[in-house]
């Protein structure tokens, strides 16, 4: 098992090898969107574990699985994407990400504006 310094070096080496366009994706969208979804679902009702963008970048399958499971508990199906935007579905009809977040909040009697995080809309 690698220690913290080895892990940080590995991450920094990966980041240095990325193009400016790839680095832009780390800052927002794509796998970062899926990581943000996990934080929202956790803040909402502990529906899944919380993950950051770095974890989602390197372990997308794990993070995606948690997001899909969490959204499923709300009644939303989600197709996650490492390289693009997630797609959200309610009763078989595609809805926007913000509609999915609003629906989830309503289901738990909460208001999205009162939630503690910034969920990148």
pLDDT digits (tens, 9 = 90+) for 11-63: 777 767 766 555 544 444 588 999 999 999 999 999 999 999 889 999 999 99
For residue 119, is it within any domain? no
Residue 71 belongs to a domain: yes
Hey, which residues does 93 pair with through a beta bridge?
Answer: 90
Alpha-carbon distance values, 106 to 16, 37, 81, 92, 103 (Å): 42, 16, 25, 19, 5
Range of the domain at 31: 4-114
pTM summary value:
0.75
- 101 lies in some domain: yes
> Residue 13, Cβ neighbours under 10 Å: how many?
9
Is the residue at 120 inside a domain?
no
Q: Phi and psi (nearest 5°) for 9?
A: -60, -45
121 inside domain: no
* Residue 49, domain member (yes or no): yes
Count structural domains, the chain.
1
Token pair 């892990």 is at which residue? 7
């Amino acid at each position: 098992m690698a220690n913290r310094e080895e892990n940080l070096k590995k991450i920094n080496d990966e980041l240095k090898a990325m193009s400016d366009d790839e680095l832009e994706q780390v800052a927002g969208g794509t796998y970062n969107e899926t990581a943000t979804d996990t934080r929202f679902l956790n803040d909402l009702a502990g529906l899944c574990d919380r993950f950051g963008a770095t974890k989602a970048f390197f372990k997308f399958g794990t993070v995606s699985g948690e997001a899909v499971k969490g959204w499923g508990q709300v009644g939303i199906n989600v197709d996650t994407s490492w390289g693009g935007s997630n797609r959200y579905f309610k009763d078989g009809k595609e809805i926007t990400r913000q509609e999915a977040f609003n629906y989830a909040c309503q289901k738990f009697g909460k208001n999205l504006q009162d939630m503690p995080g910034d969920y990148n809309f």
